[in-house]
Amino acid sequence: MLNQLVAEPSISSTTADIDRSNLRVVEHLANWLDDLGFATELMPLPDRPDKANLIATLGANGKSHPGGLVLAGHTDTVPVDEALWQSDPFQLKDKDQRFYGLGSCDMKGFFPVALQAAAAFADKTLSSPLTIVATSDEESSMAGARYLVESGRPKADYAIIGEPTGLQPIYAHKGVSMMSVTVHGAAGHSSDPSLGNNALDTMHSVMGALMVFREELAHQHQHPGFTVQVPTLNLGCMRAGDNPNRICGHAELQIDLRLLPGMDSDAVHRQLEQRCQEAAAGSNTHLTVSTAYPPVPPFESPADGDLTVTLSKLSGHAPGTVAFGTEAHFLQTLGMQTAVWGPGSIDQAHQPNEYLEHAHIQPAIDTLQQIISRYCQA
Ligand SMILES: [Zn+2]
């Protein structure tokens, strides 16, 4: 199964010419889940017929909110830099007790594990349904998960997102926003500053204001559950001007903002924009702040919730937090107690020669079978 999933390119990207459909991946999953007796439904995204979520349910018996468990994952991968791979990223390679391939760890590998666990229940009576959800576009816009929330589905009591956590249950992560601050000035000959409006001069003030804002956020917000206990604001990339002897007419700064659970992304974005506008005021340049996508909201569920505690006991790993974003907020919004837990390590995600180690696979299947039994056979 993993070989077939890896062989179907399903890159999602903000760059349109490398963005690919995920339909072949969800179709494979739907076929296999059909064979196990699941009721399967493909949900094409509005305006994107080449992208779809899959919802597959076993044992629902027509009930609209019958409780039960969701096992969720995303079907897309990040883009690939083939020159850095030692093997074909779209051909699963079994070597050194590892499965190498693009998406093997993040996170196509979770689906065969979930299906193998589910297969043990195919001919059993479930008191509450088992639902497997496969989303599109997690690595770019999270459009698939956002569409689930818009559709109000699926409904269940518990959800596990099988992102690679090394089988450690994750009860919280930071939110992630990627923002762009653009200053539009006017170019002119460098010999006379009055011939233009220097965008870099304005950007210098804006960067100072952002660094002050960062300090304030760190003083106001801390969370002891995280290795980096404060929200972060990274000045990551700047493009500006064209020549030393021209007044800089245009500057763009890209920043990454990671907020703690409990912080309101929209409110912080508004404050950030206000600080930038104040810094640019009186400069005769024009400033705009934009986001490529809506932010990935922070996520936190109680560390002593039944799902997290049960996963912790079964896997032998204490609950923890991570610094990467997932779809957890969206499943939580649908009313599910949610944990992030899965095979593979995030250290291998988004890397050349990504792999899933064999050692995680059977323990993951065993744990999922006990979880399914607990929440669907009570
Ligand atoms: Zn992932």
- Among 165, 190, 128, residue whose Cα is nearest residue 375: 128
- Do residues 227 and 102 share a domain? no
Q: What is the CATH number of the domain that holds 223?
A: 3.30.70.360
Q: Say how many Å lie between the CA of residue 13 and the centre of ligand 1.
A: 13
Q: Say how many Å lie between the CA of residue 189 and the centre of ligand 1.
A: 48
Please give the pLDDT value at position 168.
97
Q: Say how many Å lie between the CA of residue 350 and the centre of ligand 1.
A: 9
Please name the amino acid found at residue 313.
K
Mean pLDDT over 229-236 rounds to 96
Mean pLDDT over 195-210 rounds to 98
- Do residues 227 and 269 share a domain? yes
Q: Which domain holds residue 260?
A: 175-291
Beta bridge partners of 322: 173
Q: Provide the token pair at 92.
A: 């699963």
pLDDT tens string 335-370:
999 999 999 999 998 999 999 999 999 999 999 999
- Do residues 287 and 340 share a domain? no
Based on the residue annotation, tell me whether 27 is a catalytic residue of this protein. Answer: no
- Among 170, 180, 135, 176, residue whose Cα is nearest residue 154: 135
Which one of 19, 76, 137, 157 is the catalytic residue?
76
- Do residues 110 and 210 share a domain? no
Other C-beta atoms closer than 10 Å to the C-beta of 256 total 14
- Do residues 169 and 184 share a domain? no
Check whether 14 has a pLDDT greater than 90.
no
- Do residues 55 and 165 share a domain? yes
- Do residues 286 and 310 share a domain? no
Q: Say how many Å lie between the CA of residue 19 and the centre of ligand 1.
A: 16
Q: What percent of the chain has pLDDT over 70?
A: 99
Residue that terminates a domain, selected from 270, 291, 312: 291
* Structural domain total, the chain: 2
Q: Say how many Å lie between the CA of residue 79 and the centre of ligand 1.
A: 12
- Do residues 47 and 165 share a domain? yes
- Do residues 12 and 108 share a domain? yes
Long-range contacts of range 93-101, CB-CB < 8 Å, 24 or more positions apart? 97/357, 97/358, 97/359, 98/355, 98/356, 98/357, 98/358, 99/2, 99/355, 99/356, 99/357, 99/358, 100/353, 100/354, 100/355, 101/2, 101/3, 101/6, 101/354, 101/355
- State the SS3 of 20-87: CCCHHHHHHHHHHHHHCCCEEEEEEECCEEEEEEEEEEECCCCCCCCCCEEEEEECCECCCCHHHCCC
Q: Say how many Å lie between the CA of residue 28 and the centre of ligand 1.
A: 19
pLDDT tens string 79-111:
999 999 999 999 999 999 999 999 999 999 999
Please give the pLDDT value at position 78.
94
Check whether 223 has a pLDDT greater than 60.
yes
- Which residues make up the environment of ion ligand 1, defined by Cβ < 5 Å? 106-107, 163
Mean pLDDT over 53-78 rounds to 88
Mean pLDDT over 264-287 rounds to 96
What's the mean pLDDT when you consider all of the chain? 95
Mean pLDDT over 61-65 rounds to 61
- Do residues 7 and 101 share a domain? yes
Q: What is the CATH number of the domain that holds 371?
A: 3.40.630.10
Please give the pLDDT value at position 61.
73
- Do residues 152 and 229 share a domain? no
Q: Provide the token pair at 73.
A: 């994952």
Check whether 65 has a pLDDT greater than 60.
no
Pairwise CA distance, residues 4 & 13, whole Å: 21
Based on the residue annotation, tell me whether 138 is a catalytic residue of this protein. Answer: yes
Please name the amino acid found at residue 124.
K
Mean pLDDT over 130-155 rounds to 96
Q: Say how many Å lie between the CA of residue 205 and the centre of ligand 1.
A: 37
Please give the pLDDT value at position 60.
74
Mean pLDDT over 280-304 rounds to 93
Please give the pLDDT value at position 313.
97
Please give the pLDDT value at position 62.
61
Contact between residue 71 and residue 121 where contact means Cβ atoms under 8 Å apart: no
- Among 156, 96, 106, 84, residue whose Cα is nearest residue 2: 106
Mean pLDDT over 293-322 rounds to 95
Please give the pLDDT value at position 323.
85
Mean pLDDT over 186-190 rounds to 97
Please give the pLDDT value at position 63.
61
Residue that terminates a domain, selected from 247, 262, 291: 291
Please give the pLDDT value at position 66.
74
Q: Say how many Å lie between the CA of residue 341 and the centre of ligand 1.
A: 11
Check whether 15 has a pLDDT greater than 90.
no
pLDDT tens string 37-60:
999 999 999 999 999 999 999 997
Residue that terminates a domain, selected from 263, 291, 319: 291
Q: Say how many Å lie between the CA of residue 166 and the centre of ligand 1.
A: 13
- Do residues 236 and 281 share a domain? yes
Which one of 19, 106, 137, 138 is the catalytic residue?
138
